[in-house]
Structure 1
Amino acid sequence: MPHLQTQPNFGAGQPAPLRAYTPGDDFYDLLIDTHRGLDDDTSRLVNARLILLLANHIGDMAVLREAMAAARHGITPDTTTP
């Protein structure tokens, strides 16, 4: 059964990068570029769409449950809203 990959996994199985930074940095740059010029509401919409697209790509409910639990871990609920 697949498990959630929590260790750096960008570029796994590919040749080592030639630059001083890692393929994970390339992902971060791409993510920032995806949001560049968007207001907060539109940026949240892009994030929601990205989550759904990636969840569909993963397609394994056990992995998705594990990812959601890991994302929520250590986050306290907002008790300031009625």
Structure 2
Amino acid sequence: MTRLNTDPNIDAPDDFYAALLAAHEGKTDAESAAFNARLILVLANHIGDREVLEAALAAAQ
């Protein structure tokens, strides 16, 4: 198992955050929630490791 990396690991995190906010612009609350769900599933698929994903779920609690 690969461990869940909770250390800062995103190049230009402020730029990514701005892009994330921009992706939500013009969306209703329901559309934003659906976008977030799709994004989570895409990233979970990329990670692929069930134990890491479960650790992420626990960390987000």
Residues 25-75 of structure 1, C-alpha deviations (whole Å, 9 max, x = no match)? 011011001101101000000000000000000000011000000011xxx
Q: Distance in 2 between matches of 1:68 and 1:58?
A: 13
Report the structure, 1 or 2, having the larger helix content.
2
Partner Cα separation in structure 1 for residue 50 and residue 44 of structure 2: 9
Percent of residue pairs identical: 54
* Equivalence for 1:66: 55
Gaps of 5+ in 1: 12-22, 73-82
Q: Distance in 2 between matches of 1:47 and 1:70?
A: 18
Query: Structure 1 length as normaliser, TM-score?
Result: 0.72
CA distance in 1, matches of 2:26, 2:3: 35
Q: Which has the higher contact order (CA 8 A, sep 6+)?
A: 2
Structure number with larger C-alpha Rg: 1
Q: Please, what TM-score do these two structures have when normalized by structure 2?
A: 0.95
